[in-house]
Structure 1
Amino acid sequence: MARITKGILGGFSGKVGTIVGANWRGQDIIRSTPKPSSRPPSEKQLLQQSKFKLVISFLQPINSIQKRYFGSGTGSKSRVNMAVSYTINEAVEVVGDVPQLMYNKVLITRGDLAGFQNVSATPQAAQAIVLNWEDNSVQGNANAADKVNAVCYCEELGTFEIFESLGERSFLTAAVTLQSYYAGKTVQVWVYFNNTTETLACNSPYLGTFTIL
Structure 2
Amino acid sequence: MAIQADNIFGTFSGRVGRVVGVTWRGMAVLRMAPEKSSKKPSPAQVLQRAKFSAAMGFLNPIKPFLAKRFGKMEGAKAPFDLALSYHLREAIRVEGNNLQIIYPKVCISKGHLRGVEGASAVVEPNNELTVEWTDNCAQSFANPDDLLTIVLYAPSSSEFYFFENIAQRQDTSVQLPLPDKAVGVTVYCWATFITFTGEFAATSCYIPVENPHL
Task: Name the TM-score class by shorter chain.
Answer: 0.7 to 0.9
Partner of 1:93: 93
Runs of at least 5 residues in structure 2 that lack an aligned partner in the other structure: 1-6
2:125 aligns to what?
125
User: CA, structure 1 residues 85+117, in 2 after alignment: closer, same or farther (shift >3 Å)?
Assistant: same
The question of whether the paired residues in 1 share the 8 Å contact of 2:121 and 2:209 is answered with: no
Number of residues of Structure 1 aligned to a counterpart in Structure 2: 204
Q: Can you list the C-alpha shifts for 1:16-35, whole angstroms capped at 9, x where unaligned?
A: 434235799xx986332011
Partners of 1:30 and 1:210 lie apart in 2 by 53
Structure 1: 5+ residue stretches without partners? 1-6
Shift in CA distance, 23/51, structure 1 to aligned 2, threshold 3 Å: same
The answer on 1:159 being equivalent to 2:188 is no
**Equivalent residue number for residue 34 of structure 1:** 34
Q: Which amino acid aligns with 1:57?
A: G
Q: CA deviation at 1:65?
A: 1.1
User: 2: CA distance between counterparts of 1:187 and 1:88?
Assistant: 22
Cross-structure match for 1:134: 134
Give 1:112's aligned residue. Answer: 112
Structure 1 residue 46 corresponds to structure 2 residue 43: no
Amino acid at match of 2:191: V
Question: 2:204, 2:144 → 1: CA distance?
Answer: 18
Residues 3-82 of structure 1: pairs in structure 2 closer than 5 A: 9=9, 15-17=14-16, 18-21=18-21, 30-82=30-82
Match of 1:191 in 2: 191
Residue 15 (structure 1) shift: 4.3
Determine if the alignment matches structure 1 residue 143 to structure 2 residue 167: no
For the 8 Å contact 1:154–1:186, the answer to whether it is kept is yes
1:205 maps to 205
Where 1:67 maps in the other structure, the secondary structure is helix
Q: Tell me which residue corresponds to 2:182.
A: 182
Question: Which deviates further from its counterpart, 53-62 or 118-127?
Answer: 118-127
- In structure 2, what residue type is equivalent to 1:20? V
Aligned-partner SS, 2:152: strand
CA-atom RMSD, angstroms?
A: 2.3
**CA shift in 2, pair 1:73/1:174, >3 Å:** farther
8 Å Cα contact 1:69-1:109 kept in structure 2 = yes
Q: Percent identity?
A: 31
Counterpart of 2:3 in structure 1 is: none
SS at match of 1:157: coil
Name the SS for the 1:186 alignment partner: coil
* Contact in 2 for aligned 1:148/1:191 (Cα 8 Å): yes
In the TM superposition, what whole-angstrom CA distance separates every residue of 1:99-127 from its partner, at most 9, and x where no partner exists?
21111111011111101221111111232
Amino acid at match of 2:200: L
In structure 2, the CA distance between the partners of 1:181 and 1:87, relative to structure 1 (3 Å rule), is closer
Deviates more, 1:81-90 or 1:28-37: 28-37
Amino acid at match of 1:38: S
Q: Is the 8 A contact 1:127 1:180 kept in 2?
A: no
Q: CA-to-partner distance for each residue in 1:31-69, whole Å, 9 max, x for gaps?
A: 320111111211111111110010101011111211111
- Rate the CA distance shift 1:141–1:102 in 2: closer, same or farther, 3 A: same
CA distance in 1 between counterparts of 2:106 and 2:12 reads 31
- Name the CA distance, whole Å, in 1 between partners of 2:175 and 2:68: 23
TM normalised by structure 1 equals 0.86
TM-score with structure 2 setting the length: 0.86
- Kindly report which structure 2 residues correspond to 1:168-179, keeping only aligned pairs within 5 A, or say none: 168-179=168-179
